[in-house]
């Protein structure tokens, strides 16, 4: 089975290029790319006839490596009414996300090989995209005893994280890091000083003061990161900070990287495209964790993505049902669905001329894949043909009830956006096509 993606605008995050070309895919992998428009010559060079090849004319639209999204919450087991592997898989496909890396903060949480196997089985049965599960770092995400990191790795866990629970005991965390290092496991943590952030629903500042919301200083993130960096110096573990969202945390991250610590960092699409003022009159769909930051922080984080200091952009997809959000702001659950809005929201940064397309796909596809040791996330020969075709300019008004996710808690509801996924391919096979 051979497919030729013709007449595309190739977004290559490895080369940092954005140029016309075509891509040849065979047996689920990328065979070759060409910047020539002569398809016959391209095929002949690979001993292929036009008749044997399926042609996909991209019509000049963008073709990029599919998104690898670290930190997606699928609510199985426990809360399937919020999101199942089927609905999350369809949402991912519709959003150009070809690999979802799932969070273990389910009910019960994924902290044993048995629960991990359940997740893997459900994902294989129902999801049209690649699903890679993460496992908890400590049992019950309680921060007391480490999980069976070795067994879980064997069962397919790609990383270990307690999600938004910070392992407060430095002793427990340092041991878990030490043990994880011996297994070669990646640890993902939420940098935050929980003593400072407990009970907070907003970021300290003018807005939180006026609205009377309990708030946390942005400094809590840097304090958490500083502690983790010290422990990494001690243990040498492989570490990824799930979300860096404040300017104050960036110098610490930069120093740690310069000192050769094995650290990468992510941020969420919401912290790149929204700020604290979007909460306006206590709109709970804008309640995320950590809370939305100031505009200065947002711009600093965008700049850090541009320079590569922040490696990864995630959707931090967190489905919540209507009941969890129809509450006073302080009581409402945090989180937003974002698998389908990740790409159009990222296009806001492109249209604002803050980030170009190769930079965006470096952070959404290449870097997360590389950090997890995956061959995907790139357009080079031999890579899996996980691809997204999209039109960065196509306008839409987002209607949350048209989302594939079972939960509809998106902050972008009714907003004008630009950027539509036209088709998504996993291992060369179409898993989504936009209806004409």
- CA atoms within 13 A of residue 421's CA, in its CB half-sphere: 30
Instruction: Kindly state whether residue 211 participates in binding another protein, applying the rule CB under 8 A.
Output: yes
Q: How far is CA 420 from CA 260, 340, 394, 436, in A?
A: 39, 10, 6, 12
Selected binder of another protein within 38, 52, 254, 331 (CB under 8 A): 331
Distance CA 65, CA 30 (A): 10
Distance CA 66, CA 361 (A): 8
**Binding span for another protein by CB under 8 A among 96-104, 167-175, 204-212, 313-321:** 204-212
Question: Quick one: 150 or 214, whose CB is closer to another protein?
Answer: 214
Q: Do the beta carbons of residue 72 and residue 110 sit within 8 Å? A: no
Selected binder of another protein within 51, 107, 258, 281 (CB under 8 A): 281
Selected binder of another protein within 51, 210, 258, 436 (CB under 8 A): 210
Q: Do the beta carbons of residue 298 and residue 269 sit within 8 Å? A: no
**Binding span for another protein by CB under 8 A among 20-28, 104-112, 326-334, 392-400:** 326-334
Selected binder of another protein within 206, 255, 351, 402 (CB under 8 A): 206
Selected binder of another protein within 277, 327, 352, 397 (CB under 8 A): 327
User: Count of residues binding another protein (CB under 8 A)?
Assistant: 20
Q: Do the beta carbons of residue 352 and residue 417 sit within 8 Å? A: no
Question: Quick one: 327 or 352, whose CB is closer to another protein?
Answer: 327
Minimum distance, C-beta of residue 331 to another protein, in the bound complex (Å): 6
Q: Which residues contact 240 (CB under 8 A, 6 or more apart)?
A: 70, 159, 186, 187, 188, 189, 263, 264, 265, 266, 312, 371
Selected binder of another protein within 282, 299, 356, 375 (CB under 8 A): 282
Instruction: Kindly state whether residue 373 participates in binding another protein, applying the rule CB under 8 A.
Output: no
Instruction: Kindly state whether residue 320 participates in binding another protein, applying the rule CB under 8 A.
Output: no
**Exposure pattern of 209-242 as b/e (b: 16+ CB <10 Å)?**
eebebebbbbebbbbbbbbbbebbeebebbbbbb
Instruction: Kindly state whether residue 248 participates in binding another protein, applying the rule CB under 8 A.
Output: no
Question: Quick one: 61 or 293, whose CB is closer to another protein?
Answer: 293
**Binding span for another protein by CB under 8 A among 155-163, 269-277, 301-309, 325-333:** 325-333
- Percent helix, percent strand, percent coil in the chain, to nearest 5: 35, 25, 40
Question: Quick one: 134 or 288, whose CB is closer to another protein?
Answer: 288
**Binding span for another protein by CB under 8 A among 102-110, 201-209, 222-230, 251-259:** 201-209
Distance CA 380, CA 359 (A): 16
Q: Do the beta carbons of residue 364 and residue 100 sit within 8 Å? A: no
Question: Quick one: 121 or 326, whose CB is closer to another protein?
Answer: 326
Q: Do the beta carbons of residue 250 and residue 244 sit within 8 Å? A: yes
Minimum distance, C-beta of residue 432 to another protein, in the bound complex (Å): 35
Selected binder of another protein within 199, 258, 353, 401 (CB under 8 A): 199
Instruction: Kindly state whether residue 326 participates in binding another protein, applying the rule CB under 8 A.
Output: yes
Q: How far is CA 95 from CA 101, 200, 217, 236, 349, in A?
A: 15, 31, 33, 36, 17
Instruction: Kindly state whether residue 204 participates in binding another protein, applying the rule CB under 8 A.
Output: yes
Question: Quick one: 22 or 204, whose CB is closer to another protein?
Answer: 204
Minimum distance, C-beta of residue 201 to another protein, in the bound complex (Å): 9
Minimum distance, C-beta of residue 192 to another protein, in the bound complex (Å): 18
Minimum distance, C-beta of residue 141 to another protein, in the bound complex (Å): 24
Q: Quote the Cα angle for 124-333-342, to 5°.
A: 55
Instruction: Kindly state whether residue 436 participates in binding another protein, applying the rule CB under 8 A.
Output: no
Minimum distance, C-beta of residue 164 to another protein, in the bound complex (Å): 20
257: left (phi over 0), alpha (psi -120 to 50) or beta: alpha
State the DSSP string of 337-405: --TTTHHHHHHHHHHTTSS-HHHHHIIIIIHHHHHTT-S-SS-STTSB--EEEEEEEEEEE--GGG-SS
Please choose, from the candidates 330, 334, 316, 216, the residue with its C-alpha nearest in 3D space to the C-alpha of residue 273. 316
Q: Which stretches of the chain bind another protein, using CB under 8 A?
A: 199, 204-206, 208-214, 281-282, 323, 326-331
């Amino acid at each position: 089975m051979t497919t030729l993606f013709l007449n595309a605008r190739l977004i290559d995050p490895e080369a940092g290029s954005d140029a016309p070309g075509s891509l040849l895919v065979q047996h689920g992998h990328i065979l070759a790319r060409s910047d020539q428009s002569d398809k016959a010559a391209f095929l002949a060079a690979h001993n292929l006839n036009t008749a044997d090849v399926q042609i996909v004319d991209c019509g000049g639209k963008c073709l990029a490596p599919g998104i690898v999204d670290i930190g997606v919450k699928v609510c199985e087991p426990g809360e399937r009414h919020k999101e199942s592997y089927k609905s999350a898989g369809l949402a991912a496909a519709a959003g150009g996300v070809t690999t979802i890396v799932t969070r273990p903060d389910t009910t019960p949480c994924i902290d044993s090989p048995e629960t991990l196997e359940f997740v893997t089985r459900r994902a294989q049965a129902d999801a049209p995209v690649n699903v890679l599960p993460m496992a908890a770092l400590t049992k019950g995400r309680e921060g007391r005893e480490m999980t069976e990191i070795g067994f879980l790795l064997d069962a397919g866990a790609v990383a270990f994280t307690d999600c938004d629970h910070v392992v407060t005991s430095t002793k427990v965390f340092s041991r878990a890091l030490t043990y994880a290092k011996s297994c070669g496991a990646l640890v993902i943590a939420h940098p935050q000083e929980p003593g400072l952030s407990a009970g907070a629903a907003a970021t300290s500042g003018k807005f939180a003061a006026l609205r009377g919301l309990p708030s946390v200083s942005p400094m809590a993130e840097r304090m958490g990161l500083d502690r983790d960096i010290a422990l990494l110096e001690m243990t040498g573990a492989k570490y990824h900070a799930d979300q860096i969202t404040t300017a104050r945390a960036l110098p610490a991250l930069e120093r740690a990287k310069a000192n050769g610590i094995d650290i990468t960092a992510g941020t969420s699409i919401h912290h790149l495209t929204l700020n604290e003022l979007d909460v306006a009159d206590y709109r709970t769909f804008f309640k995320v964790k950590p809370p939305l930051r100031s505009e200065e922080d947002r711009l600093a984080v965008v700049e850090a993505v541009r320079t590569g200091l922040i490696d990864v952009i995630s959707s931090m997809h967190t489905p919540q049902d209507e009941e969890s959000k129809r509450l006073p702001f302080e009581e409402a659950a945090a989180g937003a669905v974002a698998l389908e809005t990740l790409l159009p929201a990222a296009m806001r940064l492109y249209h604002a001329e803050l980030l170009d397309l190769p930079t965006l796909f470096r952070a959404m596809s290449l870097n997360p894949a590389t950090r997890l040791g995956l061959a995907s996330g790139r357009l080079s020969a031999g890579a899996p043909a996980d691809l997204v075709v999209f039109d960065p300019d196509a306008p839409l008004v987002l209607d949350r009830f048209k989302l594939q996710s079972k939960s509809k808690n998106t902050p972008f509801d009714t907003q004008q956006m630009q950027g539509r996924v036209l088709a998504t391919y996993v291992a060369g096979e179409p898993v989504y096509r936009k209806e004409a």
